[in-house]
């Protein structure tokens, strides 16, 4: 798989719910803190988005998509001056699919999905994202436009298999928004997403993901992507925020954590498969990155499984 697919496979995003929101007139809804990621898109009309952790409200118009990865409370409104209503009073907590209508609808339509993350490492993998990821309408979003229209039809007029179709469309929207953000982050961001947007740094990340057990050296990685050792090291650290070998170690430990949580493999087997001949060296690296020993991590997984 490619690096973005690798990371998403560890996050294990599962579409918890996809729904439409059709509003008319003046309105304002305040949404509480939540788990997971929200991916929303304006199909028609316009609104204002404000997030508790961000200073300024953002104007959203037809075709704009936005990803909310932090779980912070936020507000959507036709006008910032309109007093807010608790969104839970409009959206039933257990609702799945369909369209919620407010004030008769007709002026504004939004589709959205919430993704729960079954993986245990969301904070390590998503900490590079801003409070809101915006995809504006002047960008190349043909795939998103198609998915939006298809989602709108599925929610308005559900057909057999509509729930599965909506989940696949939601996954497609999530990946496409992240792809477009990668292109933007490559210009002025820092983190693994920025690295994927840099042709040479992205190639180096791809090499490490493809062969995590290989004893990569800085010189070998630099040579494989056609750069000098020094310029590669500086560019990788500036773009990703980690030195290349530190990134490799973190990726190995994330893979190890996933296997400890989701398989019955023994620690020595996992260590060897990731390039560690000595279990002690693997354990030290794991504790440094993950905050606890592999054995404790495995025990926590068993306790969570019994709960």
Residue-range domain boundaries for the chain: 3-187, 198-306
CATH for 3-187? Answer: 2.60.120.280
CATH-assigned architecture of domain 198-306: Orthogonal Bundle (1.10)
Any idea of the CA torsion for 272, 273, 274, 280, to the nearest 10 degrees?
A: -20
Instruction: Count Cβ atoms below 10 Å from residue 306 Cβ, excluding itself.
Output: 5
The residues that bridge with 44 in the sheet, in sequence order, are 109
pLDDT digits (tens, 9 = 90+) for 65-95: 898 988 899 999 999 999 999 998 888 764 5
- CB-based contact 42:24 (threshold 8 Å): no
Average pLDDT across the chain, whole number: 86
pLDDT of residue 24: 97
Res. 97 pLDDT band, cuts 50 70 90: low
Res. 307 pLDDT band, cuts 50 70 90: very low
Inform me whether the pLDDT recorded for 124 exceeds 80. no
pLDDT of residue 306: 44
Query: In the chain, pLDDT over 70 holds for what percent of residues?
Result: 90
Any idea of the CA torsion for 119, 125, 131, 133, to the nearest 10 degrees?
A: -100
Average pLDDT over residues 278-289: 96
Res. 139 pLDDT band, cuts 50 70 90: low
pLDDT of residue 126: 75
pLDDT of residue 161: 82
Inform me whether the pLDDT recorded for 245 exceeds 90. yes
Burial (CB < 10 A; 0-12, 13-18, 19+), residue 62, is middle
Look at residue 118 and give its three-state secondary structure. coil
What token pair was written down for 199? 């042709």
Q: How far is CA 195 from the centre of its chain?
A: 15
């Amino acid at each position: 798989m490619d690096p973005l697919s690798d990371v998403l496979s560890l996050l294990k995003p599962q579409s918890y719910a996809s729904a439409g929101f059709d509003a008319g007139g003046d309105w304002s809804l305040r949404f509480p803190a939540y788990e997971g990621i929200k991916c929303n898109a304006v199909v028609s009309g316009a609104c204002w988005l404000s997030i508790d952790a961000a200073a300024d409200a953002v104007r959203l118009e037809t075709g704009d998509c936005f990803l909310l990865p932090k779980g912070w409370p936020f507000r959507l409104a036709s006008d910032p001056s309109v007093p807010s209503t608790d969104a839970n009073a409009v959206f039933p907590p257990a609702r799945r699919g369909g369209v919620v209508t407010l004030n008769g609808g007709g002026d504004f339509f939004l589709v959205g999905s919430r993704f729960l993350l079954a993986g245990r490492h969301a904070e390590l993998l998503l900490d590079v994202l801003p409070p809101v990821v915006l995809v504006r309408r002047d960008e190349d979003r043909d795939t998103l436009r198609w998915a939006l229209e298809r989602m709108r039809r599925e929610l308005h007029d559900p057909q057999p298999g509509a729930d599965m179709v909506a989940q696949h469309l939601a996954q497609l929207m999530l990946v496409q928004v992240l792809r477009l953000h990668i292109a933007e982050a490559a210009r002025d961001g820092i983190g693994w997403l920025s690295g994927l947007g840099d042709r040479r740094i992205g190639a180096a990340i791809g090499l490490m993901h493809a062969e995590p057990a290989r004893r990569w050296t800085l010189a070998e990685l630099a040579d494989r992507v056609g750069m000098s050792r020094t310029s590669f090291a500086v560019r990788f650290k500036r773009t990703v925020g980690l030195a290349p070998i530190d990134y490799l170690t973190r990726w190995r430990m994330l893979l190890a954590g996933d296997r400890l949580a989701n398989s019955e493999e023994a620690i020595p087997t996992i260590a060897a498969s990731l390039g560690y001949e000595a279990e002690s060296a693997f354990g030290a690296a794991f504790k440094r990155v993950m905050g606890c020993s592999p054995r404790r991590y495995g025990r926590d997984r068993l306790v969570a499984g019994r709960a």
